[in-house]
Amino acid sequence: MSALPFNNNPAYLRGNFQLEPVTALLKLHAELVCFLLIAFFFVGNAFIENSEKERVLANPQKNDFFYIDYRAIDPSSDARFRYVPLKLLSVDDDTLTFKVGNIAHTTPVSPSQHAKFDKALLLRNYYRVDNLVLSKTKVNDLVTSGAIYDARRPRNIYINGWMVLHLNELVPDNS
């Protein structure tokens, strides 16, 4: 008999961790593993989008896009077409100047859904003629009230693969 407090079984020497029962359990519940991977993907994607929204709202820059319920700014606007994109034209000390989009939705939609009208970007009437000037405190109030429900910063000229800027509108990166 061995004087050692354990036997010489190789599984015992490796920490008694055996892969066979684990792989058998995974094979037995493959649908659960797939469900958990898909759920992890969607939760991770939502986390990334929310952090991007917070990053853009914390430090607005030229050519950022804010997605807003326009009736919070103008209650007399059409209630059926109230969710519009705002393109940030300039950032001053205490004001933000926006261009208001003409393509609106009846419900809040994702930035990708707004940007799917990228061919309309080539039209002259994609944005309204007049600019919208808001103070930073008003923008913060709109964010806390939920009227500004999303914000995105384009990568190059695209948001999620959809064109939102012309090439001549690109701002050089100062970093």
pLDDT digits 0-9 by tens, 67-90: 999 999 988 888 888 999 999 999
User: What b/e sequence results for 89-117 when a residue is b if at least 16 CB atoms lie within 10 Å of its CB, and e otherwise?
Assistant: beeeeeebbbbbbbbbeeeebebeebbeb
Residue 27 is predicted with a pLDDT of 82
Which residues of the chain fall short of a pLDDT of 70?
1-19, 117-124, 171-175
- Residue 63: half-sphere exposure toward Cβ, Cα within 13 Å: 18
Residue 117 is predicted with a pLDDT of 67
- DSSP letter assigned to residue 149: E
Tens-place pLDDT, residues 17-30: 566 777 777 788 88
Residue 78 is predicted with a pLDDT of 85
Distance CA 148, CA 84 (A): 10
Helices 19-28 and 30-58: crossing angle, nearest 10°?
80
Distance CA 91, CA 111 (A): 21
Residue 165 is predicted with a pLDDT of 79
